[in-house]
Structure 1
Amino acid sequence: MKIIKFIINMLVVGVVLFTLVASIGSAITKSPFLLTVIRSNSMYPVWERGDMILVDKVTQNDDLKTGDIVIFKSEEGSLSSKGWIAHRIIEGNKEEGFITQGDANQYTDQENGESSSIKQEWIVGRAFTLNNTPIVLPKLGYLSLWFEKNQSSPLLLPGIAILLAVIIGIEELRNGKKKSRSNKGIDLQFIYIIGGITLSVIIGTTMLLSSQHMKLIYEVSESSSGALMGSAVGVLQKGEEVELPLVELSNSGAIPLIGVITTQDNQITTSLEKVFITKGQEIQTTFKVSGKKTGAYESTIHVGLFFPLLPSSIMQLLASQSYWLALGVVSLVPGIPLILYPFINRRLRIKTIREVKRGTRKLRRIAFN
């Protein structure tokens, strides 16, 4: 029974970590990464709302065929406001576009006017299949849907922290009453580790979704200035300066935020580098581009909104090196104590090592018998 329990625990940890990685990847890329959550019943009975499916990435060079279930975001029609859609290709090709339809829908997406033909560049992936059957993780997406709906709630993070504390407290009391060697302490260790990782990922994803990354394309010319297609700055004459609006920093939640604005381009300066933002506060920011050196430039301004888990000066120092470094470090601050506790606590550490060794020995016996 112990080896079965050990394998089940490892599978649970694996699924949780895989789901968290997919959530982080989706937040960073702003598109489905490894997994996507189903938000409607338009593909019933293949899957239902709240299910999760594995995503096979699609590039512009991939060949798609009739019957493929693709994940796309329409840029035309009413379907464009519904985000990422997973529907089946009914007909079409990459040159003329694809006709798509949900298995449970009476009409195609094009017949009812919700979208024009789906262009291949709108498609980011297709449902991963095994023997032509999509791999579906039933109901695992409901947590993600709930989080999306409530991420702006001021009670979300405190509620999660309290829930984790209650679960850990109950497990501590339950295990503390068991004196025999059959103690199931290994479960408690998984709760600590998974709880810490989950808390860090939720906090990191929340900060990532509230942050902005502004791409700037501009040129500096020796002799003239002018407009540049796709550029808010345009072409600057050497020595010229231009100041433009950046973003409005605001905080609608109950938890104060620290705004940090950074860029690696030494020709760009911002009106603010760091600022403390209280509930209901709104701050307009600007940036200035100085044409110091001729050439063509493509730069990024990172506007990060962080929970005040570290001093603002440290956050600014980290963000000046890399926004992603700052995001990772700040996200780990609340989760690290939970993750490390099973390795610091002598009783839990001994049990972890003993259970891992015992499980490894049994796995070896199974493999060689």
Structure 2
Amino acid sequence: MGVRSAVGTLLGGALLVVVALLLVGQLMGQPVLLGYVSTGSMAPTLQPGDGFVAVPPAFAGPIEEGDVVTFDARELDGGGLTTHRVVGRTEEGFITKGDANPVTDQDGSEPPVSRSRVVAVAWQVGGDVVVIPNLGVLVTGIGDLITGAQRQLAAALGTRALLGTQGLAYLLFAVGVAGYAVTAVLGAGSRERVRGAVGRSTGIANVWTVILVLALVLALVLTASMTLTGGERTFEVVSSQSDAAGVRVIPVGGTEELTYRIPNPGITPVAVYLEPASEGVSIEPRRVRLAGGEEANVSVSISVPDRTGVYDRAFVEHRYIALLPADVMDALYAIHPWAPILAIDALVCGLFALVAIAIVGTGVIRLDSRNPNVSTLDRLRRRFR
């Protein structure tokens, strides 16, 4: 492999990784290592469409004044992800402000931002945010293409199941299965021939490249299935001098309990972990393992301080496909909530790669060395004759 070919392969691989991260972020509804802004509220630091390196809060260390964070806003622009700078802190959370805005977010209707609502911290070097110009243009373009394809397929098939993030997961899975099937069919009959005719082939596909691409798609679908169904559960409670029916109003300094239902509508077993994401929350039990179609109830205790006011209370639900033993899952979760996801992705994708290699072999797939003008469809027809 020449230098130019190696550089092209590295750049192509880097682009593939970037696109995969952006697609995962689209599925999860939060930045995954890369984020971008769509408005000018952070100018001149970040112009509309500029991207940044999004560090997960667990790895970012303590959040301090001057940090630029992406958080789940309650009121700003109707709610949703917002990227602003931390300019202060109170007992209730962080005070945030866009660099181009004259007032803080909390001068409006947005409550102080709790640590649990921060989904990413922008990477800074020497006090300056590392900016990736026009990254948002790529994200928007990919999103438009995907959304358009989903709508066309949904209209053609007469179903709404292909719309939204769940529909995107279905499509990615279908693409992965189709790609794997085509690779297996085209490669099964050419594995032996290609060893002596690689130099003469005009249509060569590296098996490892194909497997890597399909494994990334599979990992993307698995990750989406485990993250989209979990997330933070947040609600407001009122600390009042008098009690009222329900859990929303609690006497000052008091505690009330609610029952949280955990369903598993799918057919695969899941492991669910719950943990408090704010003060005044306790959960019992904090780990539940459910078979397909099962459900369970857990008890959530909500406490308020001994002064009146409105307070945010939250807990986080993490869901995993239960492919690993319970003790292994517990050990991985103790390291970090993302550790079980990475282990499950590695297990499934590793098994997928072994099966693919057993069927297709290694090295290269010679699609057609004698007639490069034959289409893939014709090759598939010949394979099934």
Name the TM-score, length of structure 2 as normaliser: 0.51
1:181 aligns with 2:181: no
Unaligned runs of 5+ in 1: 65-69, 215-226, 234-243, 290-300, 352-369
- Aligned equivalents of 1:328, 1:320: Cα separation in 2: 14
Q: Considering only aligned residues, what root-mean-square deviation do their CA atoms show, in Å? A: 5.8
1:139 aligns with 2:145: no
The match for 2:7 is 7
Q: After TM superposition, list the pairs within 5 Å mapping 1:67-216 onto structure 2.
A: 70-73=68-71, 77-79=75-77, 81-85=79-83, 94=88, 100=98, 125-126=121-122, 134-136=131-133, 137=135, 138-140=137-139, 150-153=164-167, 156-170=168-182, 176=190, 179-181=197-199, 183=201, 185=204, 187-211=206-230
1:318 aligns with 2:328: yes
The match for 1:335 is 349
Change (3 A) 1:94 1:134: same
Q: CA deviation at 1:260?
A: 2.8
Q: CA deviation at 1:135?
A: 1.5
Identity between Structure 1 and Structure 2 (%):
8
Q: CA deviation at 1:345?
A: 7.0
CA contact (8 A) 2:70 2:82 kept: yes
Change (3 A) 1:173 1:5: farther
Q: CA deviation at 1:192?
A: 1.1
The match for 1:258 is 269
The match for 2:53 is 54
190-199 or 172-181: bigger deviation: 172-181
- Aligned equivalents of 1:26, 1:47: Cα separation in 2: 18
The match for 1:236 is none
CA contact (8 A) 2:271 2:319 kept: yes
- Aligned equivalents of 2:15, 2:88: Cα separation in 1: 35
- Aligned equivalents of 1:41, 1:31: Cα separation in 2: 19
- The one-letter code sitting in structure 2 at the alignment partner of 1:73 is F
Q: CA deviation at 1:6?
A: 2.6
- Aligned equivalents of 1:98, 1:306: Cα separation in 2: 33
Q: CA deviation at 1:196?
A: 0.6
Number of residue pairs aligned between Structure 1 and Structure 2: 290
Unaligned runs of 5+ in 2: 148-162, 234-249, 276-281, 302-314, 366-385
